[in-house]
Each structure stands twice: as structure tokens, then as C-alpha cells.
């Protein structure tokens, strides 16, 4: 198998793109693909301050690697979710990456900071699935850190597989509001929000894994222990089977949604948020989703403490 760019020996085959590449050409093409996504969606420009949410996984570390090498002003953000050994290992990988590359890193440990509430505590007390509590908490602390640090943009490592699975879930349940907001770039619609971008939205998980390997990035290989049984994984499995039978399906699904259908969903009238009474973040009721969650934990903890032994 030959590299389609230089005709040297290919090391990786990308069936969705009907192409094969040697190592240097793959790294070049991967970066160019990310750069094109950034430019075509006008995600950000040089000179803007970027906060990159890094979980210690391959996608977000690969993203940070690319953006730093493209000469952007990047700072990493790691949120310690308090999920035992998994969180400790991811924290260590992120710190090691930042040190090796000499890049600035911010860390928010939910157990110590953030009302002392890690994901297991919140999920346990509210009896919510950990991933749902975790999503609300992460979003809140990403926004809070971006505002506090005066950043222009918050970037996450969501990849094509994540976006395709999310799209499938949103379509199956016809989540009109979510479809209206499923964009690779979300403008700052509130004074307590910064612009949010997903530069890897057209880059597959396989491609980021290959890139991380070729670049010698040391990342957490294991999934979060709470992910087992999550519906998102079922959607990913279905999409992988579709992709195997018809290469390029995921890319077409996400790309064409963004090009043709998404604008129609976005054009539908929607409620505008006001300010959360407690923290000032955007809210659709009196409190934002995060403060509602914390409120629920407090009420349930108080009820538990007052219950007869």
C-alpha cells in the first residue's frame, strides 16, 4: 500500500477518505484537516486566547498538540471529577503532557473546589446516572473557568464519532432544542459564556488515535468506568457497523446535517435564557442546570441527615 501524497510506504489506511498515508504525510494531513475545519467554520483566529478542555484522553490531547503547533495561544483546562483511580490517572497524563510541552495548565478539582462535590457524590445523592450529572458539572466548570481566566474561546476534543452518536440520539428522540444547538461553533450568547468550538468534529476517533500514537502522546486508554452501559456507546456501536458496511457514512451524516438540516433547526424560535439567580449563568428557570443540581444535592443531604436512624 502506497501513500497517496508521496508514494512512499503507507502506514495507515483511511477507508472513509479512500486514502492511505505514510507517517509524516498523515500528520500533515491530520493537521490540515483540523485547520480547515477551524477556518471553514470561522472558529477562532490567531491572537485569540484559547482554553482547551483536556480530559487526558487521546482526542483532547491530540487537539491541544495540534493547536499549540499551529501557533495558537493555548492553555489547558483539566477538571478533576473525583472518579477514583480513573481521575487520578487522567490528571497525571494531562500534567505530564503540559510539562513536556511547556504549556500552561489550569486545574479545577471538584472535590476540593466547587462546593466539594465530585461526580460520584452528586450522582449518588441525586440518584442520577453519573454521566448525566457529570455532563452538567463539566459544562458549568468549563464556562466558569473560561470566564474567570478571560479566555475568548473554549475548545473541546469532541470528535466525529462523538458528534455522530450525539446526532443519532438527538434524531431518534427528535430533540429539537439540542438539534438547534448541535454546531461545531457556538457563539457567546450570554455575558457569562465564551465561544465554544469543536475543531475535531470531522475527525474520526480512529484518526485521533493514530495521530496520538504517531506523535508519541501518552494518554488514558481506558474509558471512564461510568461509561459502561451508556446509551452513547450503543449509538457508537451501531454507527461503527454502518461505517464498516459503508465507509464514509459517519462523515456524511454529520457533515450533511451541518450543511443542510441544522440551519432549519436553528431558525426555529427558541426561548432566550435569563440569568441564574444564584450564579449568574444562563438559565431557563430561576436557577441554571448546575445550581438546580447542587440545590437537589443539598436538599437530599439535609433530608438524609434529618431522617431517623
Region near ligand FES per CB under 6 A, out of 109-117, 152-160, 220-228, 255-263: 220-228
Q: Does 291 bind Zn ion (CB under 5 A)?
A: yes
To ligand FES, the closest distance from the beta carbon of 228 in angstroms equals 10
Whole-number Å distance between alpha carbons of 304 and 125? 9
Nearer to Zn ion, 34 or 283 (CB): 283
To Zn ion, the closest distance from the beta carbon of 274 in angstroms equals 11
Q: How do beta strands 153-155 and 195-197 pair?
A: parallel
Would you put residue 56 in left (φ > 0), alpha (ψ -120 to 50) or beta?
left
Nearer to ligand AMP, 24 or 169 (CB): 169
Whole-number Å distance between alpha carbons of 111 and 89? 16
Find which of Zn ion, ligand AMP, ligand FES, none residue 131 binds, CB within 5 to 8 Å per kind. ligand FES
Nearer to ligand AMP, 10 or 72 (CB): 72
Q: Applying CB under 6 A, which residues contact ligand AMP?
A: 53-55, 59-60, 77-79, 81, 138, 156-158, 162
To ligand AMP, the closest distance from the beta carbon of 156 in angstroms equals 4
Whole-number Å distance between alpha carbons of 204 and 102? 27
Q: Which of 130, 157, 184, 199 binds ligand FES (CB under 6 A)?
A: 130
To ligand AMP, the closest distance from the beta carbon of 268 in angstroms equals 26
Q: Does 224 bind ligand FES (CB under 6 A)?
A: yes
Region near ligand FES per CB under 6 A, out of 40-48, 186-194, 224-232, 258-266: 224-232
Q: Which of 33, 60, 226, 262 binds ligand FES (CB under 6 A)?
A: 226
To Zn ion, the closest distance from the beta carbon of 137 in angstroms equals 12
Whole-number Å distance between alpha carbons of 295 and 165? 31
- Interface residues toward Zn ion, by CB under 5 A: 276, 278-279, 281, 288, 291
Amino acid at each position: 500500500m502506497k501513500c497517496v501524497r508521496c508514494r512512499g510506504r503507507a502506514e495507515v489506511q483511511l477507508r472513509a477518505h479512500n486514502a492511505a498515508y505514510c507517517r509524516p504525510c498523515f500528520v500533515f494531513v491530520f493537521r490540515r484537516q483540523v485547520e480547515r475545519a477551524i477556518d471553514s467554520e470561522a472558529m477562532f483566529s490567531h491572537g485569540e486566547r484559547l482554553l482547551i478542555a483536556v480530559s487526558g484522553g487521546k482526542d483532547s490531547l491530540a487537539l491541544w498538540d495540534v493547536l499549540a503547533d499551529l501557533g495558537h495561544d493555548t492553555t489547558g483546562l483539566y477538571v478533576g471529577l473525583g472518579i477514583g483511580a480513573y481521575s487520578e490517572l487522567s490528571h497525571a497524563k494531562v500534567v505530564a503532557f503540559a510539562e513536556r510541552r511547556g504549556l500552561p495548565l489550569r486545574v479545577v478539582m471538584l472535590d476540593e473546589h466547587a462546593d466539594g462535590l465530585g461526580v460520584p457524590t452528586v450522582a449518588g445523592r441525586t440518584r442520577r446516572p453519573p454521566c448525566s450529572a457529570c455532563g452538567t458539572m463539566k459544562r458549568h466548570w468549563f464556562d466558569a473557568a473560561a470566564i474567570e481566566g478571560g479566555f475568548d474561546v473554549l475548545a473541546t476534543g469532541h470528535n466525529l464519532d462523538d458528534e455522530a452518536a450525539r446526532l443519532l440520539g438527538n434524531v431518534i428522540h427528535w430533540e429539537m432544542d439540542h438539534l438547534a444547538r448541535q454546531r461545531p461553533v457556538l457563539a457567546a450568547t450570554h455575558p457569562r459564556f465564551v465561544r465554544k468550538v469543536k475543531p475535531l468534529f470531522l475527525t474520526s476517533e480512529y484518526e485521533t488515535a493514530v495521530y496520538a500514537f504517531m506523535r508519541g502522546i501518552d494518554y488514558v486508554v481506558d474509558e471512564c468506568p461510568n461509561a459502561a452501559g451508556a446509551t452513547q456507546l450503543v449509538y457508537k456501536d451501531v454507527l461503527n457497523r454502518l461505517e464498516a458496511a459503508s465507509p464514509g457514512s459517519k462523515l456524511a451524516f454529520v457533515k450533511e446535517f451541518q450543511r443542510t438540516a441544522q440551519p432549519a433547526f436553528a431558525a426555529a424560535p427558541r426561548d432566550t435564557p435569563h440569568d441564574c439567580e444564584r450564579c449568574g449563568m444562563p438559565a431557563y428557570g430561576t436557577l441554571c442546570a448546575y445550581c438546580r443540581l447542587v440545590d437537589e444535592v443539598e436538599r437530599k443531604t439535609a433530608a438524609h441527615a434529618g431522617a431517623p436512624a
